Amino acid sequence: MRISGGFAVAALMAAGFALYLTGRDTTSSFDALHAAADGLREAGVEGQDLENETATRMVTAMDDLLEFPDTIGDHVEDLRTIADVTASWAAAAAPASRELHIAVNLRGAAGELRAHALRQSEAHLRRARRYLDQARSSLDGGINGDGSPPPQLATDGLRDQMQNLEQAQREQLQQVDEAIKR
């Protein structure tokens, strides 16, 4: 009996130590991902806090453009402004935050609509709709019942930061294409 009791105590201590080490590893991994996502900021963009009302109006405006895709070409300057504003929101947002997710998805939708203005394609419209749906979902479900934001994974923040940088590159190419088209 004494041997099995000692063994049980030793097994419990080993399990506790393993859980402790796993917790430390998870925390350090989360911190590393958070630092990596925070280091992936777009250069030369001044950050501004996200404004929910403005973001909601952007979703509505881009939804309206999706209803009448033939008019998108008349609103390229508006889409460029939306991209600039959402870039500043992304620059100010914390990694793995609701604000970053909204900003990146709105910026992506504006980019897809601009791409549609250059080369009309149903694929651009579908991607814009998907980005708008994600932004709307984050805007609508941004707060839990207890007033806290829903949890996000550190990898979500890293993905959003990478997507933001990719969109910045696409916007530079679009500006060149738009200048050539004029």
pLDDT interval class at 85 (50, 70, 90)? very high
CB 61 within 8 A of CB 102: no
pLDDT of residue 55: 96
Tokens of 112: 């897809």
- List pLDDT tens digits, range 123-150: 999 999 999 999 999 999 855 444 444 5
Listed in sequence order, the residues at least 6 apart from 47 whose beta carbon sits closer than 8 Å to its beta carbon are 88, 89, 91, 92, 93
- pTM flag (> 0.75): no
Residue among 123, 109, 105 at smallest CA distance from 164? 105
Amino acid at 165: L
Other beta carbons within 10 Å of 144: 10
